[in-house]
Amino acid sequence: MKKILVTGANGQVGSELQELSILYQDRFEFVFTDRDSFPLDDEAKMVSFFAAHKPDYCINCAAYTAVDKAETEPEKSMQINGIAVGVIAALCNQYGTQLIHISTDYVFDGSSALPLGEDAPVNPINQYGLSKLKGEELAVKEAASSIIIRTSWVYSSYGNNFVKTMMRLMYERTELKVVNDQIGAPTYAGDLAKAILQIVDQIEASGNTTIASGIYHYCNEGKISWYDFALAIRDKIGSTCNVLPIPSSSYPTPAKRPAFSLMATDKIQHAFNIAIYPWKESLDTCLLKLQQYLA
């Protein structure tokens, strides 16, 4: 039975993969790790873990995701998002493991006005984006068969994310201000997890990993601002909170965000026959799982 190592198992995508793994247990053995069992700042432990488990696939969901905090912890973010990815990729290459690595829309500077393809110029404008770009570069350098999936605005019923924060604040407050000049597309982690396992299925069916290698974009269908997203959440949960649009300049953060990071998903759809769901449908799916929080 083939073995799939999932790092960052307690994060949003990792948690969704844990939930879906039950459907695959007759075909794959899953090994889920966290920062204690597979520490990305301890190369010796990562090396010994691979030697002990020799996985056929490694889905690297582990990441330093505190975008603003990364500005004051550049070494830590670079270690986890950059250097460690190179170590993992080298180990994957050594053991014949197929690496599927999760990256981000924050590798772009936000200056585009058109949906970004995989070959669009990269130019991160914050430390988090820099560290994630380094991870992409090292993955490709150390393991030519690496599959890199850039995603954006991830949310789920697990962990901390925009949807859950908005729900909480909309029950606590009568008014909220949300930026309306950052444009992109949200990604439901449950959809992304399904897509990843569909890619694994297709690799298994073809037996050829080199055809699949490269960078892919995955996000839900649609083009919205964070303000649009907040309005949809409010309306779907029946809140009466007044949501006001503001420019990013009125909500300064330590890390700059790209003003436009909408990604084109044609490549992943065609390569793996992946379905891309409209963001409103996926939001509905997530909110159903979160219904215990609804009034």
Q: Give the pair of three-digit tokens for residue 8.
A: 């960052």
What does pLDDT average to over the chain? Answer: 95
Lowest mean pLDDT among 87-96, 183-192, 208-217: 208-217
Task: Write down all domains in the chain, each with its CATH number in brackets.
Answer: 2-161+186-221+261-278 (3.40.50.720)
Q: pLDDT band at residue 295, thresholds of 50, 70 and 90?
A: very low
**Is it the case that residue 22 has pLDDT exceeding 80?**
yes
Residue 243 to residue 247: CA distance in whole angstroms = 13
**Is it the case that residue 96 has pLDDT exceeding 60?**
yes
- Quick check: helix, strand or coil at residue 16? helix
Confirm whether 277 is a catalytic residue: no
259-281 confidence digits (pLDDT tens): 999 999 999 999 999 999 999 99
Kindly state the percentage of the chain with pLDDT values over 70.
Answer: 97
Q: Tell me the angle at which helices 226-237 and 279-289 cross, rounded to the nearest 10 degrees.
A: 50
Query: Would residue 9 be called left, alpha or beta, if left means φ above 0 and alpha means ψ between -120 and 50 degrees?
Result: alpha
153-165 confidence digits (pLDDT tens): 999 999 999 999 9
Which of 106, 128, 188, 227 does the annotation list as catalytic? Answer: 128
pTM of the model: 0.96
* Span 3-8, average pLDDT: 98
Cα 213 vs. chain centroid, distance in angstroms? 18
Q: How far is CA 284 from CA 33, 57, 170, 273, in A?
A: 29, 31, 17, 23
- Closest to 236 measured CA to CA, from 294, 159, 292: 294
Residue 35 to residue 133: CA distance in whole angstroms = 21
pLDDT at 50: 97
